[in-house]
Chains A and B, each alone.
Chain A
Amino acid sequence: MTNKIKNELDAIFSAKSIAFIGASNDKGKWGYRTLLRYLRGGSLARAYPVNQKGETVQGLKAYPSILDIPDEVDLAVVTIPGPLVAGVMEDCVKKGVKGAVVISAGFAETGEEGRTMQDNLLRIVQGGNIRMIGPNCMGIWSAPARLNLCFDSIPNGGNISFISQSGTFGGYLAEMAAVKGYGLSRFVSAGNQADLNAADYLEYLAEDPETKAIIFYLEGLDDGRRFFDTAREVVKHKPITVYKAGRTNAGERAAKSHTGSLSGADTIFDAMCRQSGIIRAYESIHPFDISEALSMAPIPAGKRVAIVAGGGGYCVTTADACASLGLDLPLIDPETQKKLKAQLLPHAPWPVNPIDTAADWRPMTIPSIAKQLASLDYVDGIIANAPFAAVDRLRSADSIRAIVSATEELISIPEKLGKPLVVSMMRGLRGGNIVTNMFRSAGIPAYETPEECARAMYGLMQYGSVRRRAHLP
């Protein structure tokens, strides 16, 4: 990628000075909510509301025009009605603004007239060297700068970046991910993509040090070929997970051949994902489950999973979920079986894989077995229960200490053995406690359900195979 796109998007994500065109005290307006979200985000950039009427907006001095601001402006955030946008964009060009986030709607999404307005706006930004997000978008979020133009509650910082073609639903997905405790680095509601498009964002995120895993919510691609070519290169060093909405009707293709009639648009999209090494998810929240693990865990060398958990139900559910995603559960060799059996309580089932510790009250049992499993050369990744997730219910210092030590033992596995560990909390993940905090700061992906754990491991193993493939001559 070129330094050009890096500089252009850095000017937006790390803007030092921002004009809010259409900022308002009227609670019913976008201009109110957008500025409020910005202020709540805690960004250190200088903010200048632009509003023709007010002297102050939400406590900040307002200016009648961007040209009146006595400072350079890096980024313009635009929330005025669509037909007025082109006019203020010409002012932005005069002001030397580098980037624009156009939240205003009423452009190509509305029909021919809107399309003409959008083309006109595009000519202005392109002629004035402004890079534009939108129009008709819901804003952006950038964790490093705490720049928030879109969320009512601030997500955890992290290394997942998410580009969405849907505004409202994309924002909703990002908030759901935040509630699940996943860490977001950048979020872009891409809107109509008149100027910056999916392939541009992909090029930027590929080189962005704050991004370790990339998610796209796609509806369609204007320049599918460029996205494909870019993705093919990017996956060599960063994982991309895509949820594709809308399956266009295969009948739209005026097929005269048998080949044509066998090639639905979704068939081709699926082929493109396999070919480029994009991981495709089939439910909208799944990319986040997968990318949480991809943003922090080591990448496994194969697809063989070992499971250790307390309880038959948990074991069989996790094993089923792994198997249905095509992961292998190797049988533990007889010698190791005997060794593990001696460490389990007498009533525990014979340890083959999954290993059921069966209501073992000793906190160190699971971490110790997990570590032994991870050191087997025919195991590529481990799924384990957290020692005792409801640690905050404990009353004795000794019991809490024992849980903390067991957690320490567990979280040492990826670093010591170079294999990913995915933990299941089942309870106690939301809200957070000492155990969840330890997992988070050690970079151990933790989930509530067996299915999420299996999906995370699938993502890691799938990406591992994409990377190995890329290293072939």
Chain B
Amino acid sequence: MSLLDTPLPLCYFSVISVQMEVKLEILESAVRRGQKALSEFDSKQLLAKYGIPVTRETLATSKEDAISAAAKLGFPVALKGCSAEATHKTEMNLVRLNLTSADEVGKAYSEITERSPIALDGILVQEMIKGDRELVIGLIRDPQFGPCVMLGLGGIFTEVIKDVTFRVAPLEVRDALEMMQELKGAAMLGAFRGKEAVDKDVLCRALIAMGNIGMEQDEVAEIDVNPLIIAAGKPVAVDALVILKQ
């Protein structure tokens, strides 16, 4: 009850709505090719179209491209083998983190491409986000209520801690704010051990956007954004997986 009684700042009640009536080419071509999921790169492109902040990244198809992309992003960077089939990248040994020089990037590029067990679209060169908290946001389709959005404490412990909360889409601003207040670890979203509080406005927009994807993009079955890392108070999607309807 306390959560419902907490007054919400008026600034949160501006209308936030992303209208994406148009069919997205990323989804259409993935469906045409019979893909079960989108690659990390394409998943984030979809999220970004809905205004969800994602890591800055480039899909490189040559070692030279990868090195120049890394230089543009600024070191350190992460390299990830990118494919719609790479749903478990770490287990498939497709990830190299904290690469601090052009040499390291070149070496990592060769390793990933040579040892990959699957065909890759390319190598994702990604900025390293130094965050202090990890959240998870997601989308599922419930047989009774349709698309539902999840927010939880994220990272590798998500399924152990199980501190998650759901709302039926489309979300109002109030729904998104209540989700944040409803987590057992809600205090983790506030100012924490000298770290800035999570920017609720950005997180709120991201949650609403997840619901809108569910309402507007029928081909999307489920989405995991895990982790959504909080860096200097700002949430950024560091990994994402969009699963398509079969």
Contact = CB atoms under 8 A, between A and B. Distances in A.
Contact of A468 (B5, B165, B221, B222): B5
Contacts of B8: 472
B138 A224 contact: no
Interface in B137-167: 138-140, 142-146, 148, 150, 152, 158-159, 162, 164-167
Nearest to B148: A268
Nearest to B241: A257
Contacts of B148: 263, 268, 271
A228 interface: yes
A267 B138 CA distance: 14
B174 interface: yes
B145 A268 contact: yes
Given A262-B162, A303-B1, A466-B4, A224 B145 contact: yes
Most buried by B among A228, A265, A268, A303: A268
B243 interface: yes
Interface residues of B, number: 40
Contact of A472 (B174, B182, B223): B174
B4 A469 contact: yes
A258 B222 CA distance: 9
A465 B7 CA distance: 11
A259 B168 contact: no
B172 to A, nearest CB: 9
B178 A224 contact: no
B2 interface: yes
B145 A259 contact: no
A274 interface: yes
A257 B140 CA distance: 8
B47 to A, nearest CB: 14
Contact of A257 (B138, B145, B162): B138
A257 B174 contact: no
A327 B175 CA distance: 23
Contacts of B39: none
Contacts of B136: 258-259
A246 to B, nearest CB: 12
Contacts, number: 105
A81 interface: no
Nearest to A327: B1
B175 A275 contact: yes
B10 A258 contact: no
A103 interface: no
Contacts of A269: 144
Given A257-B222, A258-B224, A265 B144 contact: yes
A260 interface: yes
A262 B241 CA distance: 16
B5 A262 contact: no
Contact of B168 (A275, A466, A468): A275
Interface in B1-60: 1-2, 4-5, 8, 10, 13, 36-37
A314 to B, nearest CB: 24
B226 A263 contact: no
A453 to B, nearest CB: 17
Given A257-B222, A268-B144, A262 B243 contact: no
A261 B142 contact: no
A15 to B, nearest CB: 33
Most buried by A among B140, B143, B221: B140
A473 interface: yes
B142 A263 contact: yes
Contact of A224 (B142, B175, B243): B142
A54 B224 CA distance: 67
Nearest to A270: B166
A257 B223 contact: yes
A225 B146 contact: yes
A466 B140 CA distance: 26
A302 B1 CA distance: 9
A399 B159 CA distance: 65
A302 to B, nearest CB: 7
Nearest to A303: B1
Contact of B142 (A257, A268, A473): A268
B150 A262 contact: yes
Nearest to B171: A275
A265 to B, nearest CB: 7
A259 B174 contact: no
Contact of A255 (B1, B13, B222): B222
A256 B243 contact: yes
A220 interface: yes
Contacts of A466: 4
Interface in A242-291: 253, 255-263, 265, 267-269, 271-272, 274-275
A290 to B, nearest CB: 14
Contacts of A260: 138, 140, 222
A263 B150 contact: yes
A417 interface: no
A466 B174 CA distance: 12
B145 A256 contact: no
A221 interface: yes
Nearest to A276: B168
Interface of B: 1-2, 4-5, 8, 10, 13, 36-37, 136, 138-140, 142-146, 148, 150, 152, 158-159, 162, 164-168, 174-175, 178, 182, 221-224, 226, 241, 243
24 contacts: A224-B144, A225-B145, A225-B168, A253-B140, A255-B140, A256-B243, A257-B223, A257-B224, A260-B138, A260-B222, A262-B158, A262-B159, A265-B142, A265-B143, A268-B148, A268-B166, A268-B168, A271-B148, A271-B165, A275-B168, A465-B5, A468-B4, A468-B5, A473-B13
Given A257-B222, A259-B140, 12 more contacts: A224-B145, A225-B146, A257-B140, A258-B226, A259-B136, A265-B144, A267-B164, A269-B144, A461-B1, A462-B1, A465-B4, A472-B174
What are the 9 A-B residue pairs with the smallest beta carbon separation, nearest first? Answer: A259-B138, A224-B144, A271-B166, A465-B4, A257-B222, A224-B145, A257-B224, A268-B142, A259-B150
